[in-house]
Amino acid sequence: MEPLYLGLDASTQSLKASLLSENLDVRAECAIHFDTDLPHYKTKGGVIFGENGQVYSPVMMLVEAFDILFDKIKARNWDVASIKGVAGSGQQHASVYWSNQASSLLSNLDPKTRLVDQLSPAFSRSIVPNWQDSSTSKECQDFQTTVGGPVALAKITGSRAHERFTGPQILRFKRNHPDTYRETSRISLVSSAITTLLCSDGGVKGIDESDACGMNLWNVEGRHWEQSLLDLIGEDAGEKLGEVEKDAGKVVGHIGKWFVERYGFSPECAVFPGTGDNPATFLSLTLAPSEGLISLGTSDVVLVSTARYFPNPESHAFFHPARGANDSPSYFNMIVYKNGSLARQHVRDLYFEQSWDKFNAAVESLRPQAVTDLPNKAAFWWLLPDIVPHNAHGVFKYITDPSAGLFEIGAAQKVDAFPDVSSEALAILESQLFNYRSRSSTILDDSNTPAEPSTASLPDNIPRLTRVYATGGASANKTILSLMADVLSTKVCRNVEFYDNQWKDAMWNACSVGVAYKARWGYERSQGREITFDDLVAECRNNRAKLRGAEEPSISLEEEGIRVVAEPGEGARAYERRVDWWRALEHKALSEMNK
Ligand code: XUL
């Protein structure tokens, strides 16, 4: 029987599973969609919108989703008896509150009965606050005041205070519901709650260290809960949060009896620590230091992998999600922008008759083709108050003086619209991509002091990502990908998989696949082999290539599962010289916004 590995992903809207082979081929996937498969919880997009910015989901919806996901897996005859290891991914920041009955209920589950009919009393709080919640502004202020402001909080916890982060959420819960808080025995993140359910041995499993960095509570460099912030919450906050799991590939238990007897899992199937959905995506790409990901979705997200800790109030620094207890620490940094696809679509609809073809044609007709084609127009579309730059709002367009120096903006002229409509398409894309280029370069620039990035003029050849992966809806747009390669001055890649005898765009779910990789790595280590996560994934890819009969056995990653979809052309050199020019314009827009 072929050994298999399972990854689960509890995201905002669904619970998904991916089944992988020993060499990390994705064999099968299935999903439960909360709105449609569990309509009685009455969620929209997986959540319920309450008052005063509250956004949450019912905790029992997640539990019932487990019931029907595993029923579906059984109906599809997945060979669960051959699964050697499993790990879960969960939406970040969201928290689960266990009652003091949790332990005995979890260790005495009846395999003949659904989880939803047994576990309701295991939770002290019936809801899971969602990452879209914005009800904790007061608590965020309190967090920052406690440690001396946003920069200080970012230095300690990897991020300034954010309303969706778990620490401020817990504090608000305690203030509004002190009795229920007192009745709570343990607090999990969604990822560690999944791990707890999978083991069902009575123990509430530790929060994963990478996911703990999304809480505003974890001292990232010291690798412990930040005492001053635990004290701010008070009343046993440390005991409720428990030990953090610092070895991402450790066996934390075996799959529970409920899964063995009800569905036929092997009792030997090992469970590994779950992690957050962004760390899991990071794993699915095995990002090496200086590599990055740009996800072009409703909001745009940029991930930058680094060997050093670079906390900055504009980004979130996370611990690497696949480090063993003895591995040297490394990190990834995440920047989240609200005005992603929404703003691009707005410009398309306003100027290009809702047509991407027309939008793309405008970009292609004007984009720089040579080092001398320096951009001289920029447009900042902050339709929603943005996260980065903090609270930026409004629309600002500039035409700059062609006689000004390379890095200067000269007498930049503010305009309502560009004289040539085609410039609207190029200017929004360039400005968004310059933003990702500029901030990823700041993170990668070793001469910058953490939390106090330099604003001095940068020379040509400022640090850049050595490779960037593009995901999300807009990554299907070839013009956007090609401009991305130019503005970021790097190769743009996508994951591909080999089936029907050819390479095709990988359609699998990155988060559940990323944690299945982690289960595969953890299992290898549990067999007594010391190997890093990245080496294990590379080894599996090589094995796959050999099995496929590829001519070159020690094949490079580029040929085995990763396709370069765009490379920088001549125009890249023009953009390279204009990063500082763009920074000066952003600065100008922000100062005019505040007038
Ligand atoms: C990240 C964030 C979202 C959630 C989505 O900070 O809030 O990406 O992780 O599930």
Say if residue 245 is exposed, middle or buried (CB neighbours under 10 Å; 0-12, 13-18, 19+): buried
How far is residue 6's CA from residue 70's CA, in Å, rounded to a whole number?
A: 12
- What pLDDT, on the 0 to 100 scale, is given for residue 69? 98
pLDDT of residue 457: 40
Confidence grade of residue 497 (pLDDT, cut at 50, 70, 90): confident
- CA distances in angstroms from 411 to 152, 397, 408, 551, listed in the order given: 37, 13, 9, 59
Output the CA 171–ligand 1 centroid distance in Å: 20
**Residues in the chain, overall count:** 595
Q: Rounded to 5 degrees, what are φ and ψ at 57? A: -135, 155
Which residue of 194, 293, 336 sits with most ligand 1 atoms within 8 Å of its CB, as the best mutation to test the pocket? 336
| Bridging pattern class, strands 127-129 and 207-208 | unpaired
Q: In the structure encoding, which two tokens stand for residue 215, read together?
A: 């809480």
273, 205 Cβ separation under 8 angstroms: yes
Per the DSSP assignment, residues forming a β-bridge with 511 are none
Average pLDDT, integer, range 474-489: 95
- Is 458 a residue whose pLDDT tops 50? no
Q: Once rounded to an integer, what is the mean pLDDT over residues 499-528? A: 91
Q: Beta partners for 377? A: 399
Answer yes or no: is pLDDT of 12 > 80. Answer: yes
Q: How far apart are CA 549 and CA 327, in angstroms?
A: 34
| Residue 206: strand, helix, or coil | coil
Query: What residues does 83 pair with on adjacent strands?
Result: 4
- Our answer on whether the CB atom of 318 is closer than 6 Å to any ligand 1 atom is no
Q: What pLDDT shows up at residue 551?
A: 61
172-211 residue pLDDT tens: 999 999 999 999 999 999 999 999 999 999 999 999 999 9
pLDDT in tens, 321-380: 998 877 888 999 999 998 998 899 999 999 999 999 999 999 999 999 999 999 999 999
CA of 162, closest atom in ligand 1:
6
**Biggest CA-to-CA distance, the chain:** 78
DSSP string for residues in 422-484: HHHHHHHHHHHHHHHHHHHHHHH-TTSBTTB---S---SS----SEEEEESGGGG-HHHHHHH
Region 13-20: what's the mean pLDDT?
96
Q: Are 287 and 302 in contact (CB under 8 A)?
A: no
By CB atoms closer than 10 A (0-12, 13-18, 19+), residue 402 is exposed
User: What separation in Å is there between the alpha carbon of 255 and the centre of ligand 1?
Assistant: 27
Residue 131 CA, ligand 1 centroid: distance in Å: 6
Higher pLDDT, 497 or 55: 55
CB atoms inside a 10 Å sphere around CB 61: 23
pLDDT for 556 equals: 56
pLDDT at residue 461 greater than cutoff 70: no
376: CA distance to ligand 1 center in Å? Answer: 35
Is 111 a residue whose pLDDT tops 80? yes
How many H-runs (helices) and E-runs (strands) does the chain carry?
21, 27
% of the chain surpassing 90 pLDDT:
81
Q: Is 12 in the pocket of ligand 1 (CB under 6 A)?
A: yes
Strands 291-296 and 467-471: parallel
Residue 326 backbone class (left: φ over 0; alpha: ψ -120 to 50; beta: rest): alpha
Q: How far is the CA of 130 from the centre of ligand 1 (A)?
A: 9
**Cα dihedral value 520, 521, 525, 527, nearest 10:** 20
Q: What is the mean pLDDT of the chain?
A: 92
pTM check: above 0.85? yes
Please identify, by atom number, the ligand 1 atom nearest to the C-alpha of residue 277: 9
pLDDT at 459: 47
Report which protein residue has its CA nearest ligand 1's atom 7: 131
- The pLDDT value recorded for residue 449 is 56
Gyration radius of the chain over CA positions: 24
Burial class for 116, CB neighbours closer than 10 Å (0-12, 13-18, 19+): middle
Q: Degrees (nearest 5) of the Cα angle 7, 468, 364? A: 125
Q: What is the dihedral of CA 455, 459, 465, 469, to 10 degrees?
A: 90
